């Protein structure tokens, strides 16, 4: 196990993912949080930070104490903090270095830069630079603009520093450098694999759950499906899955997802509550109100079903690591822009013990585990789909008729993406029904019908996103197909807004 101490860098999660990609387990904790050192802990990585080590309230830890116990790798701010701690000189450089730089290796025999090209592209993002290293420290690499791009020293344990960000994609050999640290310096055994995770997790679940029963809400999404499959592997049909049709799912989704669960051998009950949802959504055009209604009804329906099963003590959830990482806030509390996670109120209200088998996995790891478990690609490689479903893609009031219209248009669009192989190239896609009617002409008739907007984005985590540059011919075909086949829609537009300033969903 490796610990990453977070000083608030935007890249900290990327460090964790790079470590996990080398099949080594790691966790992120805020730099100020105490932690235990046991025989499983093999090394420490110090992250970057938006602070300067010379700021008065710069976050700090005692690097010297750490190095007495374990090998340490400092990245960017972490490297500067290390250099400064031992008496080096870190100052604002005359020019900020941001973006690609060429690292020139000065010591190719050291185990950290072993196998790295003599000149290697790295990603820089710093205002301060290490101008002088402390006594006893050795320069391992430079760039044209800075005298120290990588350094080492041998204290009680090896101590390394990198001024650049090896975790960022543009550091072309960065992953190898991280792997060198993990394997050559910390002696990690690289056995954190999906298969290992599954065996380990199933054993742990058996221990946690014993002979009790677990209830779980399934959504057809990747996380809840993988979590349920793991729990089912541990306790079989004592896992009771509930899948609610809230009336704002995609076309045929309810039946298709239930069929797949059946194939997987999961014990899942489908509840068609769509009429109830339509009834309560009536007359409520506000996005946040719609989210709240859907969230509340979902809990009510779920709870009613839970009450029918005797002796439920545990609640399964598909929580993943990015939801639980404690972040170091450098800009004060963040503002709620949209209230996501519509099932947020579930556990507290129900007083059930939580079972969260994916709590320490990133999304890409959840997918790898899902594949290893034999879950079909139509579930594993699905685009994300919001909990409030099509309700936040029908701007304004939601009615059953509008849902039907949007389901048809969305179905044509998503199928076309799949048929042309474009589905896998975008992060998320969907159609939005606008509250706008416009004039058209079909045959000799004048039409006055709705407009649908198509949305497709590329993204890594949904936090930022670019609109996808789908081919014009493809858009033309989809537009034709929708207008010719969906009565009630006579105009199709394509959304070319990125996030920020727009968001992915329109509401
Ligand atoms: P935005 O629209 O904020 O969306 O750019 C980012 C990602 O979050 C999804 N999303 C939601 N998911 N409940 C959810 O479970 C919600 O209320 C919700 N709103 C947005 C959105 O689909 C995208 O993947």
For the stretch 153-174, pLDDT in tens is 998 999 999 999 999 999 999 9
Torsional class of 351: left (φ above 0), alpha (ψ -120 to 50), beta (otherwise): left
Choice between 328 and 199, residue whose per-residue pLDDT is larger: 199
Confidence of residue 338 (pLDDT cuts 50, 70, 90): low
Confidence of residue 342 (pLDDT cuts 50, 70, 90): very low
Query: What pLDDT score does 345 carry?
Result: 55
Q: Which residues contact 23 (CB under 8 A, 6 or more apart)?
A: 190, 191, 192, 193
Is the Cβ–Cβ distance between 457 and 464 less than 8 Å?
no
In the chain, CATH 3.40.50.620 covers: 194-380
Query: What pLDDT score does 340 carry?
Result: 54
Q: pLDDT tens for residues 439-476?
A: 999 888 999 999 999 999 999 878 889 999 999 999 99
CATH code for 399-494? 3.30.300.10
Whose CA is closest to 110, among 158, 173, 75, 147? Answer: 158
Look at 134-143, 210-219, 318-327 and tell me which has the smallest mean pLDDT: 318-327
Q: What is the DSSP string of 161-206?
A: EESS-TTSTTSTTHHHHHHHIIIIIT-------HHHHHHHHHHHHH
Query: What pLDDT score does 428 carry?
Result: 97
Query: What pLDDT score does 322 carry?
Result: 85
Q: pLDDT tens for residues 466-476?
A: 999 999 999 99
In the chain, CATH 3.30.300.10 covers: 399-494
Mean pLDDT, range 261-274, rounded to an integer = 97
What value of ipTM does the predicted structure carry? Answer: 0.98
- Highest-pLDDT range among 8-12, 334-338, 451-455: 451-455
Q: Report the b/e string of 338-348 with b at 16+ CB within 10 A.
A: eeeebbeebee
The reply, when asked if residue 65 is annotated as ligand binding, is no
Rounded to the nearest angstrom, the distance between the alpha carbon of 386 and the centre of ligand 1 is: 5
What burial class does residue 109 get, using C-beta atoms within 10 Å of its C-beta: 0-12 exposed, 13-18 middle, 19+ buried? exposed
- Report in angstroms the alpha-carbon separations of 363 from 132, 448, 504: 41, 43, 18
| CATH level 3 topology of 194-380 | Rossmann fold (3.40.50)
In the chain, CATH 3.40.50.880 covers: 2-185
pLDDT of 341 > 60? The answer is no
Is the Cβ–Cβ distance between 494 and 430 less than 8 Å?
no
- Element housing 84 (H / E): helix 77-85
- % of the chain at pLDDT higher than 70: 96
Rounded to the nearest angstrom, the distance between the alpha carbon of 385 and the centre of ligand 1 is: 7
Mean pLDDT, range 267-276, rounded to an integer = 98
Q: What are phi and psi of 124, to 5 degrees?
A: -105, 150
Instruction: Tell me, using a 6 A CB cutoff, whether residue 407 lines ligand 1.
Output: no
Confidence of residue 94 (pLDDT cuts 50, 70, 90): confident
Average pLDDT over all residues of the chain:
94
Query: What pLDDT score does 332 carry?
Result: 44
Mutate to test the pocket of ligand 1, among 246, 338, 464 (most ligand atoms within 8 A of CB): 338
pLDDT of 186 > 70? The answer is yes
Statement: the pTM of the whole predicted model exceeds 0.90: no
Query: What pLDDT score does 20 carry?
Result: 96
Confidence of residue 134 (pLDDT cuts 50, 70, 90): very high
pLDDT of 331 > 90? The answer is no
Is the Cβ–Cβ distance between 428 and 383 less than 8 Å?
yes
Mean pLDDT, range 379-386, rounded to an integer = 94
Q: Which of 165, 232, 240, 411 is labelled catalytic?
A: 165
Whole-number Å distance between alpha carbons of 397 and 399: 7
pLDDT of 334 > 50? The answer is no
Is the Cβ–Cβ distance between 505 and 392 less than 8 Å?
yes
Confidence of residue 350 (pLDDT cuts 50, 70, 90): confident
pLDDT of 346 > 80? The answer is no
Rounded to the nearest angstrom, the distance between the alpha carbon of 184 and the centre of ligand 1 is: 41
pLDDT of 326 > 90? The answer is no
In this structure, the residue with its CA closest to atom 4 of ligand 1 is: 504
Is the Cβ–Cβ distance between 308 and 208 less than 8 Å?
no
Rounded to the nearest angstrom, the distance between the alpha carbon of 340 and the centre of ligand 1 is: 6
Q: What are phi and psi of 350, to 5 degrees?
A: -95, -10
pLDDT of 230 > 60? The answer is yes
- Known catalytic residue at 165: yes
Is the Cβ–Cβ distance between 62 and 84 less than 8 Å?
no
Instruction: Tell me, using a 6 A CB cutoff, whether residue 126 lines ligand 1.
Output: no
| CATH level 3 topology of 2-185 | Rossmann fold (3.40.50)
């Amino acid at each position: 196990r490796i610990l990453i101490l977070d000083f608030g860098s935007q890249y900290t999660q990327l460090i964790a993912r790079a470590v996990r990609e080398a099949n080594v387990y790691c966790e992120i904790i805020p730099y100020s949080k105490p932690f235990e050192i046991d025989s499983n802990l093999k090394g420490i990585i110090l992250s970057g930070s938006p602070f300067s080590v010379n700021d008065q309230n710069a976050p700090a830890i005692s690097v010297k104490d750490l190095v007495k116990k374990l090998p340490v790798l400092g990245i960017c701010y972490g490297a500067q903090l290390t250099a400064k701690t031992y008496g080096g000189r870190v100052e604002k450089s005359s020019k900020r270095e941001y973006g690609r730089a060429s690292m020139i290796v000065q010591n190719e025999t050291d185990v950290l830069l072993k196998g790295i090209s003599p000149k290697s592209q790295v990603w820089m993002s710093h205002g301060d630079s290490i101008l002088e290293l402390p006594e006893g420290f050795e320069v391992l690499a430079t760039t044209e603009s800075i005298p120290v791009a990588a350094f080492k020293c041998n204290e009680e344990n090896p101590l390394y520093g990198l001024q650049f960000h090896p975790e960022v994609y543009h550091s072309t050999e960065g992953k190898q450098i991280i792997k060198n640290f993990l394997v050559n310096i910390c002696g990690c055994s690289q056995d954190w694999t999906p298969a290992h995770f599954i065996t380990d997790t199933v054993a742990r679940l058996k221990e946690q759950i014993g002979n009790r029963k677990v209830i779980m809400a399934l959504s057809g999404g990747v996380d809840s499906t993988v979590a349920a499959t793991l729990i089912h592997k541990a306790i079989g049909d004592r896992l009771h899955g509930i899948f609610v049709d809230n009336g704002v799912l995609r076309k045929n989704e309810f039946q298709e997802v239930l069929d797949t669960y059946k194939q997987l051998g999961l014990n899942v009950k489908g509840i068609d509550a769509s009429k109830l949802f339509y009834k309560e959504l009536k007359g409520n055009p506000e996005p946040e109100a719609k989210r709240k209604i859907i969230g509340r009804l979902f809990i009510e329906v779920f709870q009613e079903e839970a009450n029918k099963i005797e002796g439920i003590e545990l609640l399964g959830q598909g929580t993943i690591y990015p939801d639980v990482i404690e972040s170091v806030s450098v800009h004060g509390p963040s503002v709620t822009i949209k209230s996501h996670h519509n099932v947020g109120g579930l556990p507290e209200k129900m007083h059930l013990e939580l079972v969260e088998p994916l709590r320490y996995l990133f999304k890409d790891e959840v997918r790898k585990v899902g594949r290893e478990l034999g879950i079909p690609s139509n579930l594993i490689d699905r685009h994300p789909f919001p909990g409030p479903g099509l309700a936040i893609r029908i701007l304004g009031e939601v009615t059953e008729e509008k849902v039907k219209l949007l389901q048809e248009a969305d179905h044509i669009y998503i199928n076309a993406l799949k048929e042309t192989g474009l589905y896998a190239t975008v992060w998320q896609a969907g159609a939005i029904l606008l509250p706008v009617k416009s004039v058209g002409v079909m045959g000799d008739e004048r039409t006055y019908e709705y407009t649908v907007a198509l949305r497709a984005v590329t993204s890594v985590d949904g936090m930022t996103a670019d609109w996808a540059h789908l081919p014009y011919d493809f858009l033309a075909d989809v537009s034709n197909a929708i207008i010719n086949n969906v009565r009630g829609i006579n105009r199709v537009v394509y959304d070319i807004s990125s996030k920020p300033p727009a968001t992915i969903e329109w509401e």
